[in-house]
Structure 1
Amino acid sequence: MGETTTPLGRPEPGRIASAAAGAVFLLVGVLGFIPGVTTGLDGMTFAGHESTAELFGVFAVSVLHNLVHLAFGVAGLALATTARGARVFLVGGGLFYLALFAYGLVVDASADIVPVNAADNWLHLFLAASLLALAFLAGTPRRSTNTPIHAPN
């Protein structure tokens, strides 16, 4: 068994978590361009705080914001091919969203490259906590040593 499966031949939990998170980010990136799911599409800009589009009528989005979600989704799926890659995605993604949460707290809205509102800030904190929790709950991939257990003498 390699690092991509458990000793029972199942995918490592981190790989499943990475793939699931990647799929959700891909879905959110696509939904950000769909009328009705995203309100104010006629006011969507490529980047910046001027974008008036909101995913689900709550989360500020722009073309760049949606492209970041799509890229993040692709990265999650690509890195889910190995247990180590999945862990890198979950930890790295968690730290990225933690930094984005801090950015949203300190940056003046008029200086935003990516539109961020209060709902986005709370979502970024939730995503950071969730991705980091998944990384640590999934644990470090274990390798089978195929060493027999010996009884003590």
Structure 2
Amino acid sequence: MSTSRSVGTDAARFAKAAAATVGAVFLLVGVLGFIPGITTDYDAMTFADHDSGAQLLGIFQVSILHNLVHVLFGVAGLAAAREARLVPPFLFGSAAIYAVLTIYGIVIDKESDANFVPLDSADNWLHLVLTVALAGLGFYVKQQLDGRRSDRRTA
């Protein structure tokens, strides 16, 4: 097996593993949001509004909608993991959505009806970290996959 071939295979394998890991974590977080005990004040969970009193791990305000969004991100990540070329768009798209959620969470009044997700300060910080981490991982994966393509062209 040639070196460029193994580099390409390694890049694709890494990209798929990255998407699968991100997807699995989001799916796990979404499911955990529906488990009483892991989610405190579970009986105060609403579908989607700022009055949802449930908190994942006692820290992050969640609602049914919020948990379902995590599940959907998880499913999208697992789907993207099937093909390496789908991984950068998944990671960049996820980073963009979390960037919007970060800004949204900062500018809205936490007690208004506009806070329908719902979001609190802990969520805002987590969303900021996710934005940076997902974008960074997306750039790294894209760089690795682009290197794979240039290796094939020079071989």
Distance of 1:85 and 1:99 partners within structure 2: 21
Larger C-alpha radius of gyration, 1 or 2?
1
Pairs aligned (count): 143
- Give 2:107's aligned residue: 106
Structure 1: runs of 5+ lacking an equivalent: 1-5, 149-153
Instruction: Identify which of 4, 7, 11 aligns with 2:5.
Output: 7
Q: Secondary structure at the match of 2:58?
A: coil
Distance of 2:69 and 2:43 partners within structure 1: 20
- Give 1:77's aligned residue: 78
TM-score (norm 1): 0.87
2:5 aligned partner, one-letter code: P
Task: Indicate the structure with greater helix content.
Answer: 2
- Give 2:40's aligned residue: 39
RMSD across aligned C-alpha pairs, in angstroms? 1.5
Structure 2: runs of 5+ lacking an equivalent: none
Pair 146,105 (structure 1): closer, same or farther in 2 beyond 3 Å: closer
Instruction: Identify which of 143, 147, 152 aligns with 1:145.
Output: 152
Q: Is 2:96 the counterpart of 1:95?
A: yes
| Identity across the alignment (%) | 52
1:115 aligned partner, one-letter code: P
- Give 1:115's aligned residue: 118
1:116 aligned partner, one-letter code: L
Distance of 1:101 and 1:73 partners within structure 2: 19
Q: Report the alpha carbon displacement of residue 75 of structure 1 after superposing the two structures with TM.
A: 0.3
2:63 aligned partner, one-letter code: S
